């Protein structure tokens, strides 16, 4: 009898295990999440990234290839916080049965309206279900490296659940990666501390650095809002130009995924020098300046420090 039960148990285990020849199919909504999945999963999964390097997730328009990738996926990794407004429709069109993981689940979200921290009772829905969250929150939570740690934990947990056979590898990779991100966070703090507090003011294209500013103590201003896109009103632009002149802000940046023309106009109007291009919502292609989440900070932070010291 004992042996019979053991056989049944074995059969059940085998039945429940994923077919090992088929790697887990994972879809990540944009390049930064794709990099995180790659760091945790290595080549144990087959990864598709919807909004690739230098892409703008805010204005992304998915096509049939994206729907096909999603139709096939076992696990879908999204940022949440309203960053992928096109995802609900895409997942429905693809009849996706993928499990969702919201990478930002558990971070302390910034309120877009009040430009301050939202009450903790507001959350981004369930970790397991794609949240129908109105666009109340600033979605750019990854710009705080400590939030990156939370993202990686969520991704590693979801991978382990979806592919228990490789759970040990995912946990070990995540632990090493998290240690690296904690070191990165400390490095960013130390670098920003080289700039006197009164000089920590930066102009960027859109409001992508609110979390960075909150945690590392830098004031960011942008002509475009949290989702980029729409042009600012003439009054809003004039106000910003006034502020740049009055406060003597010299640190002016374009973002790699955005049209540089507006920032060039502001630079001409104010005499503020272009400090270069920041990576905000997308990584560079492989071999570029910021092909990974870690490299994004390593690229942005020295540029920010150099430009702010001129303020
Ligand atoms: Zn953005």
- Determine, yes or no, domain membership for 166: yes
- Determine, yes or no, domain membership for 7: no
Beta-carbon-side half-sphere exposure of residue 38 (alpha carbons within 13 Å):
14
Q: Of the residues 187, 217, 237, which one is the last residue of a structural domain?
A: 187
pLDDT confidence of residue 21? 66
| CATH number assigned to the domain comprising residue 271 | 3.40.50.1980
- Determine, yes or no, domain membership for 17: no
- C-beta separation of 70 from 95 below 8 A: no
Which regions of the chain are under pLDDT 50?
1-2, 4-16, 115-131
C-alpha distances out from residue 98 to 28, 69, 188, 230, Å: 11, 11, 36, 33
Same-domain pairing of 178 and 201:
no
pLDDT confidence of residue 135? 57
pLDDT confidence of residue 20? 57
Q: What's the structural domain count of the chain?
A: 2
Distance 279 CA to ligand 1 centre (A): 10
pLDDT confidence of residue 233? 86
Q: Of the residues 187, 203, 218, which one is the last residue of a structural domain?
A: 187
Residue with tokens 């999963």: 41
Strands 75-78 and 99-102: parallel
Distance 175 CA to ligand 1 centre (A): 28
Distance 164 CA to ligand 1 centre (A): 34
Q: Beta-strand (E) ranges in 52-184?
A: 75-78, 99-102, 110-111, 116-117, 137-138
> 155 is in which domain, residue-wise?
24-187
């Amino acid at each position: 009898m004992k042996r019979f039960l053991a056989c049944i148990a074995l059969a059940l285990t085998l039945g429940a295990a994923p077919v090992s020849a088929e790697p887990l199919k994972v879809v990540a909504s944009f390049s930064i999440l794709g990099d995180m999945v790659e760091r945790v999963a290595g080549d144990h999964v087959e990864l598709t990234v919807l909004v690739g390097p230098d892409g703008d997730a805010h204005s992304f328009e998915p096509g049939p290839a994206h729907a096909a990738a999603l139709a096939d996926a076992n696990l879908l990794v999204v940022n949440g916080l309203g960053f992928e407004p096109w995802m609900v429709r895409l997942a429905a069109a693809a009849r996706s049965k993928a499990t969702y993981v919201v990478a930002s689940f558990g971070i302390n979200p910034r309120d877009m309206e009040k430009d301050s921290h939202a009450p903790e009772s507001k959350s981004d829905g369930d970790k397991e279900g794609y949240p129908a969250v109105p666009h109340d929150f600033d979605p750019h939570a990854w710009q705080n490296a400590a939030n990156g740690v939370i993202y990686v934990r969520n991704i590693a947990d979801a991978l382990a659940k979806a592919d228990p056979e490789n759970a040990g590898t995912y946990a070990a990779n995540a632990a090493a990666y998290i240690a690296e991100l904690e070191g990165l966070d400390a490095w960013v703090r130390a670098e920003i501390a080289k700039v006197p507090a009164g000089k920590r003011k930066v102009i960027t294209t859109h409001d992508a650095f609110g979390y960075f500013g909150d945690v590392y103590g830098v004031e960011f201003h942008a002509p475009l809002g949290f989702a980029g896109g729409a042009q600012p009103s003439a009054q809003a632009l004039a106000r910003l130009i006034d502020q740049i002149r009055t406060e003597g802000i010299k640190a002016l940046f374009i973002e790699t995924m955005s049209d540089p023309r507006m920032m060039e106009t502001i630079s001409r109007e104010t005499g503020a020098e272009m400090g270069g291009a920041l990576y905000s919502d997308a990584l560079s292609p492989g071999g570029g300046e910021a092909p990974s989440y870690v490299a994004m900070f390593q690229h942005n932070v020295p540029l920010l420090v150099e430009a702010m010291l001129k303020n």
